[in-house]
């Protein structure tokens, strides 16, 4: 609220400086903590297994089943099939991160392109594209993803295709809205008046201005995609066991939830932390870029 307490002039100046510094510190923290967290997760999932002493996520023998946390060589213990849980967490993380990244890249490129065209063109093409986009968005995307995953069968690549059906319309809608806003701005008109061909306008004038917004959206969307991948794997439509995915770890862990909650808790926490880091980073970037 904007109701102040009148303060004596000079004495207040140091306080004002201090609170400004605190604000800056908070902003910096908000940006770098999630970045660091994400970096740590990526390094852990992709690099650590190459250098550390991590047993394979599959192919464990039943003799090793059910080992508790802290056992030598198995920091988090083993699951009912004898696979090392820590290892499965890391490899499952690979799946999540790959799916997250891939779906957003596909969405940004394809969806961004469609959205820009839908926003920039006029007449019949725009109208048709807009109707199609609206239909895609109205369609319960989850149904689509489920159906596609079901039809294609389990597997990481299929999950990526299925989830791209989510991300492409989402990016397209975002790109379209932003294009509509920018279309009539002076710099766009100037480019058109100077005879620049339309594809160049879109590629070199429009796209760069859309990029910051698309990037923040991609970070948030990656979080959504990772959650959806978890959901699909949970419903046995994603990475099939014995392959590791946080989603199917949760699914199999559910059966022994009351006796060994860590089997469910650990992948849940992994999902939560990763997605939260993505959201925090996306939010911090958005705050920074819109304050400019």
Partner 1 sequence: MTVQSTNRTDNLAAAADPEAAVSVPPPGTPQAPPPAGLLRFPLLRSSRFRLAVRRLLTAIPVVWGVTFLGFTVLNLLPGDAAQALLGADATPQEVAKLSHQLHLDQPFFTRYWNWLTSALSGHLGNSLGSGQQVTAILVQRLPVTFELLLYAFIVSLLIAIPVATFAARKPGGIFDSITTFIALVGLSVAPYILALLLILFFAVDLSLFPALGWTPISGGLGSNLRSLTLPALSLGFPIGCFYTRLLRADVLEQLDEDYVVTAHAKGLPGWRVLLRHATPNSMFGLITVVALNAGTFLGGTVIVEQIFGLPGIGEELFQAIQTRDSPVLEGIVVVFAVLVVVIGLLADLLYAALDPRIRYDNPGQ
Partner 2 sequence: MTAPAAAPKAAPVLEVRDLSVRFRPRGGNLVHAVSGLSYTVAAGRTVAIIGESGSGKTASSRAIMGLLPRSAQVSGSVLLSGTELTGLSPRALRRHRGSDVAMIFQDPARSLNPTMKVGPQIAEAIRAHKKVGRAEARERVIELFKLVRLSAPEQRYDEYPHQFSGGMRQRVMIAMALSCSPKLLIADEATTALDVTTQAQIMRLLAELQEQLGMAILMISHDLGLAASYADEVVVMYAGRTVERASVRELFGNVRMPYTSALLGAVPRLDRAAHTPLPVVPGRPPDLSAEAAGCPFAPRCPRAADKCAERRPAFDEHKPGHWYACWYPLPDGPRAVEAGLANTGPSATGGAR
Residue 150 sits in the site that holds partner 1 (CB under 8 A): yes
Whole-angstrom distance, CA of residue 100 vs CA of residue 38: 13
The closest of 237, 66, 74 to 142, measured between CA atoms, is 237
Cβ-based nearer residue to partner 1, 101 or 146: 146
Residue 268 sits in the site that holds partner 1 (CB under 8 A): yes
Whole-angstrom distance, CA of residue 246 vs CA of residue 234: 8
Find the length of the chain. 292
Whole-angstrom distance, CA of residue 200 vs CA of residue 179: 15
12 binds, among partner 1, partner 2, none (CB under 5 to 8 A by kind): partner 2
Residue 12 sits in the site that holds partner 1 (CB under 8 A): no
Whole-angstrom distance, CA of residue 93 vs CA of residue 267: 9
Binder of partner 1 out of 116, 174, 225, 275 (CB under 8 A):
275
93 binds, among partner 1, partner 2, none (CB under 5 to 8 A by kind): none
Cβ-based nearer residue to partner 1, 4 or 195: 4
279 binds, among partner 1, partner 2, none (CB under 5 to 8 A by kind): partner 1
Which residues pair with residue 74 across a beta bridge?
71
Whole-angstrom distance, CA of residue 156 vs CA of residue 179: 33
144 binds, among partner 2, partner 1, none (CB under 5 to 8 A by kind): partner 1
Which residues pair with residue 28 across a beta bridge?
none
Whole-angstrom distance, CA of residue 26 vs CA of residue 20: 10
Minimum distance of partner 1 from residue 53's CB (angstroms): 30
To the nearest 10°, report the CA torsion of 174, 175, 179, 181.
20
Minimum distance of partner 2 from residue 7's CB (angstroms): 5
To the nearest 10°, report the CA torsion of 34, 177, 106, 159.
80
235 binds, among partner 1, partner 2, none (CB under 5 to 8 A by kind): partner 1
256 in helix, strand or coil?
A: coil
Residue 227 sits in the site that holds partner 1 (CB under 8 A): yes
Kindly list the residues in this chain that would bind partner 2 in the complex (CB under 8 A).
2-10, 12-13, 16-17, 20, 23
Cβ-based nearer residue to partner 1, 148 or 172: 148
Whole-angstrom distance, CA of residue 259 vs CA of residue 264: 11
- Going from the C-alpha of 212 to that of each of 81, 208, 290, the distances in angstroms are 45, 8, 10
Cβ-based nearer residue to partner 2, 1 or 193: 1
4 binds, among partner 1, partner 2, none (CB under 5 to 8 A by kind): partner 2
Catalog residues that contact partner 1 under the rule CB under 8 A: 1-3, 23, 131-132, 134-144, 146-148, 150-151, 223, 227, 230-231, 234-235, 250, 254, 257-258, 261, 264-265, 268, 271-272, 275-276, 278-280, 283
């Amino acid at each position: 609220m904007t109701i102040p307490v009148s303060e004596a002039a000079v004495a207040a100046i140091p306080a004002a400086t201090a609170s400004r510094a605190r604000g800056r510190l908070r902003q910096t923290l908000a940006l770098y903590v999630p970045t660091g967290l994400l970096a740590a997760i990526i390094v852990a999932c992709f690099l650590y297994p190459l250098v550390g002493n991590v047993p394979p996520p599959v192919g464990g023998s039943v003799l090793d089943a059910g080992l508790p946390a802290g056992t030598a060589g198995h920091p988090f213990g083993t699951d009912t099939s004898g696979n090392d849980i820590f290892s499965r967490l890391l490899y499952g993380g690979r799946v999540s991160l790959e799916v997250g990244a891939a779906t957003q890249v596909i969405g940004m490129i394809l969806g961004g392109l469609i959205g820009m065209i839908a926003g920039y063109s006029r007449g019949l093409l725009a109208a048709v594209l807009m109707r199609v986009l609206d239909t895609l968005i109205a369609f319960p995307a989850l149904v689509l993803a489920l159906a596609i995953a079901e039809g294609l069968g389990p597997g990481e690549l299929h999950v990526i295709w299925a989830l791209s059906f989510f991300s492409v319309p989402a990016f397209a809608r975002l790109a379209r809205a932003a294009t509509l806003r920018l279309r009539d701005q002076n710099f766009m008109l100037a480019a058109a008046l100077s005879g620049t061909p339309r594809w160049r306008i879109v590629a070199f004038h429009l796209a760069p201005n859309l990029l910051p917004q698309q990037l923040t959206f991609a970070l948030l969307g990656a979080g959504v995609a990772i959650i959806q991948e978890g959901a699909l794997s949970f419903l046995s439509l994603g990475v099939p066991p014995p392959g590791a995915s946080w989603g199917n770890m949760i699914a199999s862990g559910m059966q022994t939830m009351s006796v060994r909650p860590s089997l469910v808790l650990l992948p849940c926490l992994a999902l939560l932390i990763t997605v939260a880091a993505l959201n925090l980073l996306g939010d911090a970037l958005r705050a920074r870029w819109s304050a400019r």
